[in-house]
Every structure is written in structure tokens, then in C-alpha cells.
Structure 1
Amino acid sequence: MTMAAAIENGTADTKSWSKPDRVASIDVISDLAGAESVWRAMETAQQFCTPFQRFDFVSAWQRNVGARDGLSPFIVIAYDAERRPLLLLPLAVRHVYGARCASFMGGKHSTFNMALWDRDFAATATQADLAGLIAAISQRAEADVLALHQQPLRWRDLQNPLAMLPHQRSANDCPVLKMEPGAAPTALVSKSFRQRLKGKERKLLALPGYRYYVATSDADVTRLLDWFFRIKPQRMAEQKLPDVFAEPGIEDFIRGACAAPVAGGNRVIDIHALECDEEVIAIYTGVADGHRFSMMFNTYTMSANSKYSPGLILMRNIIDHYAAQDYRALDLGIGSDDYKRMFCKDDEPIFDSFTALSQRGKLAAGLMSGLNRTKRMVKHNPALLEMAQKLRNAFS
């Protein structure tokens, strides 16, 4: 099988690849504590990773969600000949289609998935380097397939080296707002949209103690999350949606990540809020890394104040907040919901890769690849999407 054919098919047989280059050895670690020191060292500004792969984010998820679902850590650290870490893959193994499937930890709560890279290695990595990595993982015989979902093609100013593996487009792209340094506020949120929001906000400005802020104290974090876990189920019930936040371990994961600090005074998950003296009006949460803010989850009040579009007002405040800090990008998560398009005009391509590590893994990789292609086809065909939604509603 040629590399071009493997890329087209979305799967690969490691035996067809070239021999290793700079990847001299790997460790496969089955517990978070055993990888923590290397992991934290690879989170620094000199490295190359997304905030969704921070140790405190992933460890909170694995401890409270992954472990409950039977996922076992499968943390791959690759080294050069002098035992300097080149990359860390934060994976966990589960059984899928009769095969041991290694995927990124973080599940559906991680918008973007990447390895943590030595920046110089990421900037110069070759297909031979990736072939060496895959061959070394395959030889360990501890997983049958790598199923790596929701990976960005680029992060900041570099290509994601894992895009050199055979891959395919994810079911959805990610709407993104690109933020040029020093851009006028109206270049980020149009003048007419700002005026509409300003008109709605006049009603809220009359409320005693009305304010926008980012939660920094433990007391505020706890209070806002208490409110969120009380209000969000009501909002989801109103929309006839299942309460995904009631699934075992989710609340503990979120509370743990929102409580954990990172450098610069932020939290692993930051909480932005609108409130007045009488109530919390709206919150958005997300991760920030000095370059980009990625929204995770949100909700808004059930009171009459909801009619003034507090979620949109809060989003405008968040954009202005990060623009003032010279952030270069902001996204509201993967998917094409209407409110995301109000702020995020560009699309960022996201990819998945399914790489067989064994004979058993070939069938699983092919099945997962085919299923992903079908999902994307349905998502991007209005007639098929409408039919799928009707079937889902009927069964639910």
C-alpha cells in the first residue's frame, strides 16, 4: 500500500512505512503519576500543545470519568537517543469492535486533541519520525489501533505533525474567530451587532450590581458551579435534551478542573460570568493559553432576564476581554450552531486518524474510519441530517 493510498483510505499498515529516524525509544506508562513530571515539563510555553492536554485537565477527566468507563491510561512518551522527551501522547485504551483501541483522554469534553510536543521536534518532524513512533508503539503489542479524534491541522504557527499520518476530515469543522493584534472592537463584533446587544443590555445595566467578570476566587468558582449544576438540567429539559452533566463523574471532573490553577492567575477551566446582586445571569466556561480561548459549556438564567440575550452579551464581553490581552483566536466549540456563526466567521478543519497497530486492529480501524465518513456525509447533507434527527427524536 502506498502512503497516498493509505491517506485516501484513512488507515495504515505500519509495515509499509519507512524505518525510524529520530525516535530512539518510547515508554508506555499505565498510570498518570508515573508520567506527571515529564508531562508538566512539556506544558511550558517552549513546548507545543493545546490547553485541553494539560495534566490537570486530563487527570481530572481520567480520574472521574475515564476510570469509571473502564478506560486504562496508555501514555506514550517518545525520546531521542539522549533520552530527551520528544512528545507525549495522552491516550487511554478501551475495547471497540473486539480490538484494544487507544484514544485521547478527555473524551467529548476536549474540543481539540494533540500530543504534547517538544517545539523544535514538532517544527521539523518528518514522516520517517512518525513511522518510527508508530512502529515502536506497535512493537509493544499493548494496543491494536490508534483512534485519534478531533485533531487540529495547525495549532498556533505550526502544523500538527500527526497530520502526516493517514487521516480524514472529522464529522464537523470548528468555527473560529481570528483576532488580529490591535483590531478595532467593531472588526471582531460588528458595529450593528454591538448596537443591538447594547440595546438589550440597557435593561440589565439597570439591575443593582450588574457586572461581567472572570471568576478568580475559590468561593466564586464554587458558587457559580453550584448555580450551573442547578440551572443547566432545567435548560436541557426545556429543550428536550438529555442531561449529559448528570452522567457519573462529570460534575466532579468539572469542579476539579475549574478549581485547579495555572500560571498567570487563570484556572484549568475559566468561568466568565454576568451577574447582578440578585442572581447569576449567564456563564461561559473555557480554556485559555495566552493565544486562544476555547469555549466548553454555558447556560443562562431561567428568570425574565433571559429575554435580553445575556449569553450573547456575555460572549461579546469575552471577545473584548481576550482581544485586550492580544489573543489571536477564539472558538465556541466544534459544530455549526447558529449562535456560533454570529461570532465565528471562519472554519477550521479538524481531522481524525485510525491507524492499525496489529492484524486485529485493521478491521477495527476500517470500521471506525467508515463510520466517521458516514457521520460527516450525514452532517453535511441537509436531507440526510433531517432524516437522522427525526429518527433520533422518534427513538428518544
Structure 2
Amino acid sequence: MTMAAAIESRTAEAGAWSAASRIAGVDIVHDLGAAEVVWRGLETQFSTPYQRFDFLASWQREVGERNDLSPFIVIAHDAERRPLLLLPLAIGQRHGFRIASFMGGKHATFNMALWERDFAASAAATDLAGLLAALRERTVADVLALTQQPLRWRDLPNPLALLPRQPSVNDCPLLTMAPGAAPATLISNSFRRRLKGKERKLRTPGYRYHVATSDADIERMLDWFFAVKPLRMAEQKLPNVFAEAGIENFIRGACMARLAGGGRIVDIHALECDDEVIAIYAGVADGHRFSMMFNTYTMSGSSRYSPGLILMRDIIDDYAARGYRALDLGVGSDHYKRLFCKSDEPMFDCFIPLSPRGRLAASAMSGLNRAKHLVKHNQALFQVAQALRSALHR
């Protein structure tokens, strides 16, 4: 595809909207290859690991295309055509409306634009107003549905929080780790002793904790995961989201992809012995935070000794020793997450109409997510919802 064909419309003409905004123009790119150079350049500035080009390119190729979602990559630049931000979106039809949302779907814990760092640090409401005005001039989408965004990332606020926003449906349990923190400040000594007692019963020949690094080890761990995870989800009467079209190929591609500086886009941590894989946790890391994507543990008798909790202890100790400052276990209120993570990462959603007809869709989506948030944060309503879900999946 040529650059001219990949970009829907060249730089927006400077108009009234750009008078107060440092955004001088906006390109909308429909081909990942045409956006790759700018995208990779902004990866090292200000974004989460879930916005890495290779991660989202794999998702778009394996999942987005199967769901009739087309790349809708918004690149804003200044008067000298220096990129200021990139929104990694995909656009599709939903109930007759053109909805643009973040690539990555439910397998990306955090969604963000990729920002030029200095611009992100000083971005103002007038800059975002210029961005939205440029998009509304095109009327190429009816709604921006920008969900699961962190209020802050590392040391900077997320500039998109300047837009009209509401709390995300789910919380994200978070563990912060001070530099040089004593192990007992991360996991109490009493909890460690309980886990040590359980771990002694797991210590059969070859017992070990490690991070999969070779292609063969990664493939072996993923083969085991995709065999065991459906059994675990069926046991919990949950739908198997990993069985959806393209998801397995996406995860395998992301786990095998290498980072430019070494390592993998997705790290797979494992407990195993000579007889079996006991548990795995996989997630993305960026030198500052580890963020979990998926996990499971054995169906054998070893499961009674809490191998997932033991592995989580090892992961926390590993990243603390490497100087990481934070660790999260993905969205959701599962009990095991609260054993390690005592606070939450504030997250928000934005539903922004871009066309007159989009106002109705944005209002409906906003209302639906507010209702889901209410259910998730009201124990009585949540128990009723869980009972209904269990009944539907019997």
C-alpha cells in the first residue's frame, strides 16, 4: 500500500481550531506499516508496554481483522511535522455506528496514546480540543470509545484525562515497590511462612522457578497453557476468552516477539518440576512495572498447595530485586490479587462523539459502562450478576 493510499487525508488544514493548539495537523493512517516509523519512535517516549507496535500489530493481524476492525491510527504533529502523539485505534461498525477504540481489546490491561514526552508533560485542554476538532472535520468515525486508560503512567499524568471522563468498569489491583524495600514490606513474613510451608510439599525432583527465554521453552509453556486454561475456566463456569478466533495466534506471536534491546514483549514466569508444569504467569514489563496478562495452574494434586500464590511471591521478589517500582495483576477483583495488591490503579473511560449521530451512541455507551461500574462496586448487585452468569453457563 502506498503512503498516499494509507493516509485517508493529508495534514488537516490549519483552521480556527489550531489557533490555540500546538497540534498543527492530524493524519489518519489505515495501514500499520505506514505508521511504523513514527510509532516505534514514540514507543520510547510515553506509553505503556501494551502499546508496543509488535504487540498491537499481532493483535490487529490475528484478532482485529477477523472481527472486521480496520486500523484507524491518528497521528498529530506540530507545525514542523514533528509527531506529538499517536492514537493506536481500530474502527468498526457496531449497531450501525462507526466506533473507534483502542487496539488490543480485552487482552490489553491499559490503553493509552503514545506521546512525545515533553508534549505530554505540558499538554493542555486546548491541545486536545484541537485534536478533536480535526477529527470532527473528517467525520470518519461517530464515536471515540477510549476505555481502560490509566490516570497516570509512571511520573506523568495521562493527558487524555483532560477530556470528559468517567471511572472504568473494573479496578486494577496495584502493588507499589519502593527502591530497596525490605521483602516483608512487599509480602508479610507471616504470609511468606505460610507459602513456604505449602512450597515444601511441591519440592519434587527438578522443582524450580524460572522465566522462559528460549523459543522451545516459550512454545512448551504456551502449549501447556492452552491445554489447561480451558479446563480451569470450565471449572469456574467462565467463558473461555482464549478460544475466540485469532486469540491463540495473537498471544503466541506476542510471546515469541523480541524487543530491540533484548528480551521478549511478553515474559512468561513458571514453576515446574521434572514431572509437570505447575503454574505460569505471563505479562509485559518495561523496566518500571510488570503487568500481568494471563495465568493458570495445574489440574493435578499439586494445585492444593497454592502454586499460583507461590509463583506470585517469586515474581514480586524477582522484580523488586531488579529495581522495579510497581506490579499489577490485571483488571478484576479476584481474591488472590488482594493478597498482594492493597491499592488500585485509577482508570478511566472517555466516550467522545465525533458526529451528530454519534452523540446518541456515546451517551448509550457511557450509560452502559456506568451501570457496569455500579454493579462491580456494589456487593449485593455483584453477587446477583455472578449467580446469573453461573446459571447461564451451566
TM-score between both structures, scaled by the size of structure 1? 0.93
SS at match of 1:176: strand
Give 2:155's aligned amino acid.
Answer: D
Write the distance in 2 (CA, Å) between the matches of 1:265 and 1:83.
31
Residues 65-84 of structure 1 aligned to structure 2 (within 5 Å): 65-84=63-82
Letter in structure 2 aligned against 1:70 = D
Aligned to 2:7: none
- Structure 1 residue 201 displacement after superposition: 0.7
Task: Give the corresponding residue for 1:217.
Answer: 214
The structure 1 residue matched to 2:372, chosen from 365, 369, 375, is: 375
Deviation at 1:251, TM superposition (A): 0.4
1:101–1:144 contact (8 Å) kept in structure 2: yes
Task: Name 1:167's counterpart in structure 2.
Answer: 165
Matched residues, percent identical?
A: 72
**C-alpha contact 2:28 2:75 (8 A) present in aligned 1:** yes
Q: Deviations over 1:65-117 (max 9, x none)?
A: 11101111100000000000000000001122321110000000000000000
Q: Structure 2 regions of 5+ residues with no counterpart?
A: 1-16
Counterpart-to-counterpart distance in 2, 1:395 and 1:232: 20
Structure 2 Cα separation of the partners of residues 220 and 162 of structure 1: 39
- Structure 2 counterparts to residues 180-329 of structure 1, below 5 A: 180-205=178-203, 207-329=204-326
Letter in 2 for 1:160: N
1:282–1:301 contact (8 Å) kept in structure 2: yes
Q: State the one-letter code of the partner of 1:357.
A: L
In 1, are the aligned partners of 2:51 and 2:114 still within 8 Å (CA)? yes
**Conserved? CA contact 2:18–2:24, under 8 Å:** no
Partner of 2:9: none
**Corresponding residue number in structure 2 for 1:88:** 86
Name the amino acid aligned to 2:23: V
Q: Tell me what 1:41 maps to.
A: 41
Matched, 1:334 2:331: yes
Shift, 1:307, TM fit: 1.2
**Unpaired runs of at least 5, structure 1:** 1-16
Give distance in 2, aligned partners of 1:53 and 1:122: 16
- Out of 372, 386, 391, the position equivalent to 2:388 is 391
2:66 corresponds to which letter in structure 1?
A: R
Question: In structure 1, how many angstroms separate the alpha carbons of the residues matched to 2:376 and 2:232?
Answer: 25
Match for 1:25: what amino acid? G
Q: Over aligned residue pairs, what C-alpha RMSD do you find? A: 1.4
Question: In the superposition, relative to structure 1, how do residues 263 and 18 fare at CA in structure 2: closer, same or farther (>3 Å)?
Answer: closer
Amino acid at match of 2:134: A
Partner Cα distance (1:381, 1:283) in 2:
31
CA spacing shift, 1:31–1:295, aligned 2, 3 Å: same
Report the Cα distance in structure 1 between the residues aligned to 2:228 and 2:255, rounded to whole angstroms.
Answer: 18
1:26 paired residue number = 26
TM-score by length of 2: 0.94
Q: Distance in 2 between matches of 1:393 and 1:193?
A: 32
What is the CA-CA distance between 1:264 and the residue it aligns to?
A: 4.3
Please name the residue that 1:8 is paired with.
Answer: none
Provide the rounded CA distance (Å) in 1 between the counterparts of 2:209 and 2:365.
44
CA distance in 1, matches of 2:136, 2:342: 41
After TM superposition, give the deviation of residue 20 of structure 1 in Å: 4.3
Q: Distance in 2 between matches of 1:18 and 1:379?
A: 41
Secondary structure, aligned partner of 2:43 = coil
Deviation at 1:237, TM superposition (A): 1.7
Matched to 2:280, the amino acid is I
C-alpha distance in structure 2 between counterparts of 1:360 and 1:270, whole Å? 43
* Alpha-carbon displacement from aligned partner over 1:330-374 (angstroms, at most 9, x marks no partner): 000111110000000011211000111110110000000111111
Among 94, 98, 108, the residue aligned to 1:110: 108
Say whether the 8 Å CA contact 1:20–1:131 is kept in structure 2.
no
Counterpart of 1:7?
A: none
Q: Following TM superposition, by how much is the alpha carbon of 1:268 offset from its aligned partner in structure 2, in angstroms?
A: 1.0
Tell me, in whole angstroms, the C-alpha distance in 2 between the residues paired with 1:275 and 1:383. 39
What is the distance in 2 between the residues matched to 1:388 and 1:204? Answer: 36
Contact 2:237 2:390 in 1 (8 A): no
Q: Residues 19 and 128 of structure 1 are in contact (CA less than 8 Å); yes or no, is this contact kept in structure 2?
A: no
CA distance in 1, matches of 2:84, 2:72: 17
CA drift of 1:272 comes to 0.3
CA distance in 2, matches of 1:285, 1:323: 17
What is residue 100 of structure 1 aligned with on the other side?
98
Displacement of 1:383 in angstroms is 1.7
Q: 2:141 aligns with which of 140, 143, 159?
A: 143
Q: Which has the higher contact order (CA 8 A, sep 6+)?
A: 1
Residues in 2 aligned to 1:359 and 1:18: alpha-carbon distance in whole angstroms = 22
Distance in structure 2 (CA, Å) of the matches to 1:56 and 1:181: 30
Whether contact under 8 Å (2:73, 2:88) holds in the other structure is: yes
CA distance in 2, matches of 1:100, 1:267: 35
Tell me how far 1:394 sits from its aligned partner.
2.8
Counterpart residue number, 2:59: 61
Taking the aligned partners of 1:393 and 1:138, their CA distance within structure 2 comes to 43
Give the counterpart letter for 1:31 in structure 2.
Answer: D
